[in-house]
Amino acid sequence: MSSENLRKEGVPEDKISFVGNIMIDTLENNRDKANQLRIEDVISENIIKETQTPYTKNWSQFAVCTLHRPSNVDQKEILGAILNFFSDEVANDMPVIWAIHPRTQKMLQSFGLWEKATSVQNLILLNPIGYHEMLRLNMSATIMLTDSGGLQEECCVLGTPCLTLRWNTERPVTLKEHGGASVLVGNNIDRIRAEYRTALAAKRHPQRPELWDGKTAMRCVNAIVNNSPQIH
């Protein structure tokens, strides 16, 4: 798609280099470091202090959630319905680890939903976490529910079933219909519920779109050198 757009803009064919996805280089270079982290440490070091509810410490199954887009968090009815799904349905199946974006926390509080979010058994709220911590969770998660494009890409390579809470995506190659791990569910609870049940029955199925091999940076350098006569 990007190459086609460049052609439409008049960029000469010999100036276009298909190099892959640089984010996957980052993932591959950080797998080992992330894998050294313990899930229980990620939780204990980042848990929001108001989260006082009991939760299971069996990490054989757990869901990971992130939300930050205005379409999901800026309307009380929508955010409340998503919270209810997380707390009343997903949390009954397994622990739900929700890394709370500051915008989302602000909206939960302003809508009067924060007390519920912090009092649900098995709904574990975390402060924003670092790259390695999130990668560690994603590597072992049973399912990801997110509106993050970056996590959508990582789920594809890791094979984590991913429900993308958006109606469209700039990353169609990550979708299940193209061999990826992600399904677009928007913020329609009936659709989220149906795809959630389907995803639970699925096994991890890591996929590598073309050139998502962790060597994109090398191809970028080669392309720059090959197209810069003054470097030779």
Amino acid type, 25 = D
Beta bridge partners of 64: 97, 144
205 is catalytic: no
Neighbour count for residue 115 (Cβ, 10 Å): 10
Determine the Cα–Cα distance for residues 146 and 176; give it in Å rounded to an integer.
15
Catalytic residue among 68, 101, 178, 232: 68
Cβ neighbours of residue 42 under 8 Å, at least 6 residues apart? 126, 129, 133, 136, 137
The C-alpha atoms of residue 155 and residue 128 are separated, in whole angstroms, by 19
76-85 vs 102-110: helix axis angle to the nearest 10? 110
- Single-letter amino acid code for the residue at 207: Q
Q: Per DSSP, which regions of the chain are E strands?
A: 63-66, 96-99, 123-126, 143-146, 162-164, 182-184
Q: Name the residues annotated as catalytic.
A: 68
